[in-house]
Amino acid sequence: MNKSSIIVSQSQKIIRILRLKVTDKPGFLAKVTSVIGEAQVNIGEITIIGQGPDFILREFSLQLIDIDHLNAVIYAIEKIDGISVESIIDPVEQIHEGGKIAMKSRVKVDSLTEMRKIYTPGVAQICKLIERDITLSRKYTGIGNTVAIVTNGSAVLGLGNIGAVAGMPVMEGKSVLFDCLVGISAIPILIDSQDPQVIINTVKAISCTFGAIQLEDIKAPECFEIEQTLINELAMPIMHDDQHATAVVALSALKTIALNTGIDLNTCKIGIIGLGAAGIGITRLLKAALIKDIIGCDLRSDAIIKFEEFGGKSGDLNMVMNQADIVIATTGVPQLIKPNMVRPGQIILALSNPVPEIDPELAMQQGAKFAADGRTINNALAYPGIFHGALRSKATCITDNMKLAAAEAISLHTKTNNLVPSILDYKVHQSVADAVSLAWFQDLHNFNNLKS
């Protein structure tokens, strides 16, 4: 029996597939489902995967509370005569086996003639064209549609500093979304260093391979220095996803909330709890959206200083909860916001994953006008379209206007009674790309007017 050793958060249900050898006689399947039901387990699919002379191999997809719940179910099943547990499959681990991405050819090589076109001697013709005019690399290579996803694994999801290699599954997941949602080739780049200068130098050295750079899961405050230095020194779209894509989706959600509740964002006091990458990114974009009254808190003095540099007013957790009309939390600290801190009529966005600062249902029970968590406000709604629009328009950077345009595009695609659109709504990502591309050309036009 292959049991998973994965540690599971007690607040999240888990899915496991049990492969059972069931005696092929009437009543045995019913015995299994009865025992599973008595254990208060939801059964999903039941699939036959094999058959012997007197048995059937079946896989049962089960939704369980935790590992202890799983063990109790297995114990109960193994007590049934004529039933045996062959294996336990974790479908999350299963889908990651072998990795989620691979480099694939876009052309067929089914003859020597074709090989000679794509490789030697024909490829020399293209090399000479690019040597004479380097901009032709966007036409004749994949550079113009390729993004580097750069990480050192120092701030991965809610897991913290787990290292670059342990963060690879996240980077692969982002690569999959880039490809599926907007057709961009995204390549993970793992940098095994905590030194900002090493990351900066590495990205600069390999930047000619890519059309854009997405910085990912790099902790604050180093992420600010790394991003700004690269923006200053490389004429290409560069964005730290944890800061800016999160901010875009958060602003979009606020626009939708304002529309549905009748509040005026420009007159609201907005509180930011946690002034790391996401908190600072949200603050910067709210300021760009001309929202003036922003208060925030963090335990780190350097975070407070940066927050105040962007025009925020600092305080402590109680001050934020007592004064803010809208509270956005990005701390990574589960259950930081206690129920008695929630004021009637407040809007609470507790964005930390996998466990929010307060459960949205609990916040609503305490009188919040609206509450949501990070499962709803997912930055994957923003970054594919932002990079697609930036690459398509050959932008040399990603501006505040491009981010504001992306937030507006997401909000406009949000259907009634939803906070944000579905991530799998392909029209949303295309609309974000269109809006970002248009915003870049507007910025370029305004810049040229200023020069003249």
Cα–Cα distance between 419 and 360 in angstroms, integer?
13
Q: What are phi and psi of 427, to 5 degrees?
A: -65, -30
Q: Which long-range contacts (CB under 8 A, 24 or more apart) does 166-171 make?
A: 167/217, 169/96, 169/100, 170/216, 170/217, 171/216
DSSP string, 197-264: HHHHHHHHHHGGG-SEEEE-S--TTHHHHHHHHHHHH--S-EEEHHHHHHHHHHHHHHHHHHHHH---
Strands 212-215 and 238-240: parallel
Q: Is 342 exposed, middle or buried (0-12, 13-18, 19+ CB in 10 A)?
A: buried
119 included as an active-site residue: yes
- Whether 174 is a known active-site residue: answer yes
Distance separating alpha carbons of residues 274 and 189, to the nearest angstrom: 28
- Which residue of the set 174, 255, 306, 369 is catalytic? 174
Alpha-carbon gap, residue 231 to 203, rounded angstroms: 11
* Residue 85 phi, psi (nearest 5): -90, 115
DSSP 20: E
Spatial distance between the Cα atoms of 242 and 275, rounded to a whole number of angstroms: 12
Distance of CA 190 to the CA centre of its chain: 17
Please tell me whether residue 437 adopts helix, strand or coil conformation: helix
**Cα(345)–Cα(270) distance, integer angstroms:** 13
Can you say how many angstroms the Cα of residue 165 is from the centroid of all Cα atoms in its chain? 18
Given the residues 13, 25, 119, 338, the one annotated as active site:
119
What residues are labeled active site?
119, 174
